């Protein structure tokens, strides 16, 4: 698998598109993110802000990007200065000159000059786009600079009067995958599928959930990924019924079905794949019965991921198949209409079916436009992830189904020719899954 590389001109093109989306009197300001404390005086590995990285390719804490809209949009980048002593302890910094070369921004400055230069950059702007639902520190900084510009009003200065959520414009931009984005995402999904295959090939009863996690993540890292795009979920038996189970600490028993929801990042785009593996190598009849229902729902949901369709319709389509299955399996009784009307299916299927996928696992981009579901377009990428969760302690459930949790999640690219399943290298038919499990032992 040849790894794709997004180059400086790709990032420059994205900034140019954002500049063109911005009104002429608008400025967009994004920060690159900060280091987060893990405990006491140690920190998590730095992960740049998704939109900042999408527009610069830089992974540098304490950076800020400013884009001015209009006929000839331009970008200014503020980064930490080179500092030999700090770099010996905490890693290399590009410095303003290096950042300019790496990103092709028009201007680059030391971050220490942000407050004063921000006043110049906001001068003449009416509208400032910042992420208003996060990053309080940036908002304060922008408001301080804006106030300083406003004080000059009497001498003719034009100062901002509107704060707009930058995630709206960034959501619209990031929803439609450009060529480089698609290449990164495809590679992230391909490596995610590879991790699934390698770990499942070593699965055996008596191993531990964390061993599976370690094999997955070894495959991710060994192939150059920065690592998982979210906490890997590896849940055996009843643990599969905890939707965000990340302890991954239990021993996998003979007869357990192992639910694995894991994906890795490439250039900070992430895959998001869920598969279920029978530890012993074969599905029990009850596991098979549940799995077949979810697989049918997954296939129906993928088929519905077409231009002009929408995420609500995909959910409804999957629900239709799942509810038929729940009635057939005897998990629910009564009429289908009543089950749907009273939402009784939520005992066994309590989440939605799809979300946008991109730099974030639950990516930016609104799900409705003017109150109606957003129609799918060529270039959208979404997940289709129906499931059935039959927790051990649920009342009134046939015994053979207790403790079975199944989700089958694919990453789907909407094209003019129909849905393309990016995650199809991760086996999902019963026979393919059975052939894979334990095949490396
Ligand atoms: N892995 C998170 C999700 O499937 O939405
Ligand atoms: Mn998902
Ligand atoms: Mn997932």
- CA 261 to ligand 1 centroid distance, Å: 7
Q: What is the pLDDT of residues 106-115, one digit of tens each?
A: 999 999 999 9
CA distance 328 to 333: 9
Which residues make beta-bridge pairs with 39? 42
Q: What is the pLDDT of residues 168-197, one digit of tens each?
A: 999 999 999 999 999 999 999 999 999 999
Best of 385, 406, 411, 423 to mutate for ligand 1, by most ligand atoms within 8 A of CB? 385
Q: What is the pLDDT of residues 237-271, one digit of tens each?
A: 999 999 999 999 999 999 999 999 999 999 999 99
* pLDDT confidence of residue 153: 66
Q: What is the pLDDT of residues 285-301, one digit of tens each?
A: 999 999 999 999 999 99
What are the phi and psi torsion angles at 73 (to 5°)?
-60, 150
- Where are the domain boundaries for CATH 3.90.230.10 in the chain? 176-436
- Where are the domain boundaries for CATH 3.40.350.10 in the chain? 8-174
Q: Does residue 155 have a pLDDT over 90?
A: no
Residue 355 is among the residues annotated as catalytic for this protein: yes
Cβ neighbours of residue 93 under 8 Å, at least 6 residues apart?
60, 79, 80, 81, 82, 83, 86, 87
Q: What is the CATH number of domain 8-174?
A: 3.40.350.10
Residue 244 is among the residues annotated as catalytic for this protein: yes
* pLDDT confidence of residue 71: 75
The beta strand positions in 12-100, using DSSP E, are 26-31, 37-39, 42-43, 64-68, 74-79
Q: Does residue 73 have a pLDDT over 90?
A: no
* pLDDT confidence of residue 158: 83
What are the phi and psi torsion angles at 337 (to 5°)?
-60, -40
Q: Does residue 20 have a pLDDT over 90?
A: yes
DSSP 8-state symbol, 409? B
User: Ligand 1 atom closest to Cα of 262?
Assistant: 1
Q: What is the pLDDT of residues 206-219, one digit of tens each?
A: 999 999 999 999 99
Q: What is the CATH number of domain 176-436?
A: 3.90.230.10
Q: Is the dihedral of CA 177, 181, 183, 187 positive or negative?
A: negative
Longest dimension (CA), the chain: 80
Q: Does residue 157 have a pLDDT over 80?
A: no
Q: Which residue has the tokens 């995650």?
A: 423
């Amino acid at each position: 698998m040849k790894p794709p590389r997004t180059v400086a001109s790709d990032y420059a093109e994205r900034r140019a598109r954002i500049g063109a989306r911005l009104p002429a009197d608008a400025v967009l300001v994004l920060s690159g993110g900060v280091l987060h404390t893990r405990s006491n005086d140690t920190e998590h590995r730095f992960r740049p802000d998704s939109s900042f990285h999408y527009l610069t390719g830089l992974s540098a804490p304490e950076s800020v990007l400013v884009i001015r809209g209009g006929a000839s949009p331009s970008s200014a980048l503020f980064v930490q200065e080179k500092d030999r002593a700090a770099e010996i302890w905490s890693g290399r910094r590009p410095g303003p000159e290096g950042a300019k070369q790496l990103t092709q921004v028009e201007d680059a400055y030391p971050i220490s000059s942000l407050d004063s230069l921000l006043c110049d950059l906001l001068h003449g702007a009416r509208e400032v786009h910042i992420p208003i639902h996060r990053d309080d520190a940036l908002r304060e900084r922008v408001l301080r600079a804006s106030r300083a510009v406003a004080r000059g009003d009497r001498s003719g200065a034009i100062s901002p009067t509107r704060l707009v959520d930058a995630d709206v414009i960034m959501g619209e931009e990031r929803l439609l995958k450009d060529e480089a984005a698609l290449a990164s995402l495809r590679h992230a999904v391909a490596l995610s599928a590879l991790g699934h295959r390698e770990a499942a090939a070593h699965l055996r009863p008596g191993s531990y959930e964390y061993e599976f996690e370690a094999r997955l993540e070894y495959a991710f890292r060994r192939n150059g990924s920065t690592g998982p795009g979210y906490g890997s979920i590896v849940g055996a038996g009843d643990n599969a019924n905890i939707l965000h189970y990340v302890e991954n600490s239990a021993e996998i028993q003979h007869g357990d079905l192992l639910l694995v929801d894991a994906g890795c990042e490439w250039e900070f785009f992430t895959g998001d794949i869920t598969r279920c593996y029978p530890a012993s190598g074969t599905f029990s009849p009850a596991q098979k019965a549940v799995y077949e229902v979810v697989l049918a729902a997954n296939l129906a949901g993928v088929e519905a991921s077409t231009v002009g369709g929408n995420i609500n319709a995909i959910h409804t389509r999957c629900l239709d198949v799942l509810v038929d299955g729940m009635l057939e399996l005897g998990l629910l009784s009564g009429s289908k209409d009543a089950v749907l009307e009273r939402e009784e299916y939520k005992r066994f299927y309590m989440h939605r079916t799809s979300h946008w996928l991109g730099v974030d696992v639950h990516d930016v981009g609104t799900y409705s436009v003017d109150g109606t579901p957003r129609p799918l377009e060529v270039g959208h990428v979404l997940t289709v992830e129906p499931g059935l969760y039959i927790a051990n302690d649920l009342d009134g459930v046939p015994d053979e189904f207790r403790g079975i949790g199944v989700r089958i999640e694919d990453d789907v690219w909407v094209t003019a020719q129909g849905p393309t399943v990016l995650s199809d290298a991760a086996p999902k038919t019963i026979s393919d899954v059975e052939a894979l499990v334990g095949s490396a032992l």
